[in-house]
Amino acid sequence: VGGSAGAGGSAGAGGSAGAGGAAGSGGTAGVDGGQDSGTPDAGDPCLTASLDALLGSLRLLDGGVVAVSGGPVPAGVIGIGFGGGRAYTVSALGVVSSHAAQRPLPAGTVLGSLRSAADADAGTLYFNVAVVPNEASVLGSYSKLSGAGVATVLAVDGGAAVHVSAPGIYTATALSGGGWLINSLGLAGAPAAGAAGYALWVDGGAVVSQQVVALRTGDGGWNASSGFTAVASGLVGFGYYHGVDGNNYVRTVSEAALRAAWSDGGAFDLGQAPVLVSANDLTDVVGSPTSFYAVRGDWVFDNTTSVDRYRVLDGGVAPARPVLSSADTCTKVLFSAATAQGVVLAIRDRNGARLVYLDELP
């Protein structure tokens, strides 16, 4: 198991999106979709399994965090992001809303739609579960059945949306000082390089894009396609699906090293960066102010088996520290996001979907 996704698809069993794959942390939702209820079929042991009201069948370990209820996932919401003291959600219809960053999440106001006017009649779109605020703007994205992709930047003050072609867009994260790092197969305005990391800046409607991470240099055997992207404490975790060994990889590089490479007009060779995590059951990676969190799961049973924490230190990254674990197939992390205190997970079981904040202890 471990193939790439087809056009418009999300991550496959053990793999990440290939050409035309949309996703982000945890996958995509089509405009006619939404979240599965998580209700098992008759005869499934999850019908009678003992479930914690907050964590379901996941168990909190000694990972240096406390779990705090954030209330139910609002109806139709497939992703969340935090920035500037606000929370932003994206719906299965590609509508982004702004909320007060409270627990539970209060009702929000619509910021805008990710869908461009050119795609008004494009049929089914696959909206990325990641919504990424950065200073005065929010980034969202989607893919089409054809494999074409679009990154949309919405101004938090209600200004005009900016749409940028980004084929195979998979994940993205915010860069310090503005802009985003996008893990995709290309970005309008940057030379075509296939699966790579691309920086995007939007200033007053003007778009600047540049390839900043090279996946295929350093090891021709990668056969790489897009993967996970996160930032923690100034360290970038940039990932890819390895088409040879079938694993998802995330390697770490300082944002300063990326900036040094792109200031010379080049791209950082990811082959020089150390591996943070490599696994065929990696389903999500998210960064907090201090750490990376790796979510693992079973692609066949569509559940989460564990969440591990990798704390960023002055000299590198500490070994994995288990935070959550499960011995059954009854609970899944749908999506995740960084918060000022740690991370938030959307957890689903037969009782529904809810937000669970993992606040880091001092």
- Give the model confidence (pLDDT) of 131-169 as tens digits: 999 989 999 999 998 889 999 999 998 888 999 999 999
Cα angle 79-87-15, degrees, rounded to a multiple of 5: 25
Q: Under a CB-based contact definition with an 8 Å cutoff, are residues 225 and 17 in contact?
A: yes
What DSSP string describes 154-210? EETTS---EEEE-TT--EEEEPTTS-EEEEES--TTS---SSEEEEEEEETTEEEEE
Q: Determine the Cα–Cα distance for residues 240 and 222; give it in Å rounded to an integer.
A: 9
> pLDDT tens digit string along 190-237?
988 889 999 999 987 789 999 999 986 456 678 888 899 999 999 999
Q: Determine the Cα–Cα distance for residues 305 and 92; give it in Å rounded to an integer.
A: 25
Please, which pLDDT band fits residue 247 given cuts at 50, 70 and 90? very high
Cα angle 288-179-276, degrees, rounded to a multiple of 5: 40
Rounded mean pLDDT of 116-128? 91
Q: Determine the Cα–Cα distance for residues 288 and 304; give it in Å rounded to an integer.
A: 20
- Backbone φ, ψ for residue 99 (5° rounding): -130, 155
Rounded mean pLDDT of 62-82? 96
Please, which pLDDT band fits residue 43 given cuts at 50, 70 and 90? confident
Rounded (10°) CA dihedral 46, 104, 335, 171: 180
Q: Under a CB-based contact definition with an 8 Å cutoff, are residues 193 and 215 in contact?
A: no
Rounded mean pLDDT of 251-279? 92
Burial of 340 (0-12, 13-18, 19+ CB in 10 A): exposed
Q: Determine the Cα–Cα distance for residues 148 and 171; give it in Å rounded to an integer.
A: 15
Residue 165 in tokens: 């072609």
Determine the pLDDT at residue 300.
Answer: 80
Q: Is the pTM of this model over 0.85?
A: yes
> pLDDT tens digit string along 281-340?
999 999 999 999 999 998 887 899 999 999 999 979 999 999 999 989 999 999 999 999
End-to-end CA distance of the chain: 40
Determine the pLDDT at residue 264.
Answer: 85
Q: Determine the Cα–Cα distance for residues 88 and 158; give it in Å rounded to an integer.
A: 14
> pLDDT tens digit string along 5-40?
333 323 333 333 333 333 333 334 333 333 444 555
Q: Determine the Cα–Cα distance for residues 295 and 304; give it in Å rounded to an integer.
A: 7
Cα angle 70-320-12, degrees, rounded to a multiple of 5: 70
User: Is the pLDDT confidence value at 107 over 60?
Assistant: yes
In this structure, the strands spanning 28-30 and 125-128 are antiparallel
User: Is the pLDDT confidence value at 62 over 80?
Assistant: yes
Determine the pLDDT at residue 47.
Answer: 93
